[in-house]
Amino acid sequence: MLHAKRILLVVGGGIAAYKTPELVRQFRKRGAAVTCVMTRAAEEFVAPLALGSVSGAKVYRELFDLTDEAEMGHIQLSRSADLVVVAPATADLMAKMANGHADDLASTLLMATDKRVLIAPAMNVRMWEHPATRRNLRTLEKDGVLVVGPDEGDMACGEYGPGRMSEPPAIVEAAAAALGGGPLAGRRILVTSGPTHEPIDPVRYIANRSSGAQGTALANALRDLGAEVIFVTGPADAPRPQGVQVVEVESAREMLAAVEAALPPQGPAADAAVFAAAVADWRVASASTSKIKKQAGAPAPALEFAENPDILKTVSRWSEGRPPLVIGFAAETDDVEAHASAKRLRKGCDWIVANDVSPATGIMGGTENAVILITAEGAEPWPRLTKTETAQRLARRIADHFAGPGREDRGAEDRGAA
């Protein structure tokens, strides 16, 4: 993975720079050598001496250093690394990268490098959502720049939302994946996410409160561990994960068709499928092709419902093309463990991730989750975590599953249950 790899860490001038000494420490713990480059603004948040101490190497700060530049230091730095990591990648640094500015050491070496670049954005939520930042992000992704995060949460400025720099472990895993490492390298995993919208007429539909945040977080976590991810999503509010194959759908039937297209019996085979989508159980049997008009004095139209396909059960019971590990989600409001355990047997999947979505928990559509992982071995309650942390924990469990000898078909004894 990262053993003997050389990481060039560019530290931008954001409050998240205080996390970079820990990031360096974790890179070195994994066997990587780290060289740090700091912008002038970064020195307002973390001392060069701190980064030099944890990296065990010189920290570079100035473009016009006579000694370094006599040896063409910015060229040497940019070419000698195996991977360039920008953390935190501020809005200013992203703008410089996207538009080819090179007015300091950091931006100059980013222009001069011939290596892959991984950025960990960190900024105020309004700056992250600003059209200029979104435009710069699209440009960088088109240029092949890899992105990890940002996470969602409280900001130093007191606001809340996406813009927090990913935690050091997530950045390290993303770097490992970028270098062809990661415990899920070579694995192909499908993830479904978000709600489905079942039309009543062209302007109305039936849906649920799923935001898609847990599915997006899971796709990111699996990607960061090296997996090739196919992400099939309904019309969710959460931003789509980067660096994965995204398939957009609306209804449950469209989602099933997309899953079948992504997992054809003739291949390429998937190693796992995680069904995190909150698929509607029912649809309107005969949706109107025209807007249903309200008529004064007339009774409300009666809607006749039909049952939607059960995607989890369908895939779990495939005789051909079934992924070795099939994971479902169970959103329950009472008797969570009992209902989810019964669902695992009834559907024929290997694992169920159960959570309590009763209104008092604030989990449905919220930023946190509290789950019970149910397998053939029993039930394992997890503490209440952010959805990002829950996703990372589940991704690591999936990696551990495949790392264990002879465990690819665990749970097969349950697949024939009625």
φ/ψ (deg, to 5) at 39 = -80, 165
Residue 13's identity, in one-letter code, is G
- Tokens in use for 127? 């700056």
**8 Å CB contact between 237 and 211:** yes
Going by C-alpha positions, the residue among 236, 187, 185, 186 that lies closest to residue 215 is: 236
In 145-251, alpha helices (H): 168-178, 213-224
Q: Is 312 annotated as a binding residue?
A: yes
* Residue recorded with tokens 């049952």: 307
Q: Find the catalytic residue in 157, 269, 285, 403.
A: 157
Helix, strand, or coil here: 100? coil
Q: Is 311 annotated as a binding residue?
A: yes
Number of H helices, E strands in the chain: 14, 22
List of residues 6+ apart from 362 with CB closer than 8 A: 368
Distance CA 36, CA 55 (A): 8
**8 Å CB contact between 364 and 209:** yes
**8 Å CB contact between 179 and 2:** yes
Distance CA 233, CA 240 (A): 9
**8 Å CB contact between 172 and 85:** no
Going by C-alpha positions, the residue among 147, 60, 67 that lies closest to residue 109 is: 60
Q: Is 281 annotated as a binding residue?
A: yes
- Tokens in use for 382? 């997890």
Helix, strand, or coil here: 304? coil
Q: Is 157 a catalytic residue?
A: yes
Q: Is 310 annotated as a binding residue?
A: yes
Residue 113's identity, in one-letter code, is T
Q: Is 309 annotated as a binding residue?
A: yes
Which residues does the annotation place in the binding site for CTP?
A: 281, 291, 309-312, 329, 343, 347
- Catalytic center residues: 157
